[in-house]
Amino acid sequence: MTRIEAFAPDLMDQSKLRAAFRDHDFALLRSAGAIEDSTADLLLVDLGRPGVLDAITAATSAADFGERQVIGFGSHVDDDLLAAAEQAGASQVLPRSVFFRRIPDLAD
């Protein structure tokens, strides 16, 4: 079973993610720093939080990162942040609205 972890401090986002992944091995991360230590197959990350870009860079640069994926989501108007997340090593970077529309596809 795919292990999914998310760093999404917003309570509404957490609620949506818990509902979408209730039948999966899913957990919420408590801090951006926990991204670096995650062993999940799929990491879902709110890019608008302090420390996230550095944590993504550290995680994806680790020798044992392998085939794991990081999907970041953020404000559709923050082009610089979305581009920086790609530079940091995120597998996919999506505007928040697109990310939450695609959650059912990720849960399949």
CATH of the domain at 43: 3.40.50.2300
Give the alpha-carbon dihedral of 74, 46, 83, 101, to 10 degrees: -50
**Which among 38, 36, 67, 41 has a CA at the least distance from the CA of 53?**
36
Task: Please state the rounded mean pLDDT for residues 16-35.
Answer: 94
**Range(s) of the domain holding residue 65:** 3-107
If one compares 67 and 49, the residue with the highest pLDDT of the two is 49
Q: Which pLDDT band, with edges at 50, 70 and 90, does 62 fall under?
A: confident
Helix (H, G, I), strand (E, B) or coil at 93: strand
Question: Is the separation of the CB atoms in 48 and 75 below 8 Å?
Answer: yes
User: How far is 62 from 105, CA to CA, in rounded Å?
Assistant: 28
Task: Please state the rounded mean pLDDT for residues 4-16.
Answer: 96
Tally the domains of the chain. Answer: 1
User: How far is 19 from 50, CA to CA, in rounded Å?
Assistant: 25
User: What are the Cα distances from residue 58, in Å, to 11, 79, 100?
Assistant: 26, 22, 25
Is the pLDDT at 107 greater than 80? The verdict is: no
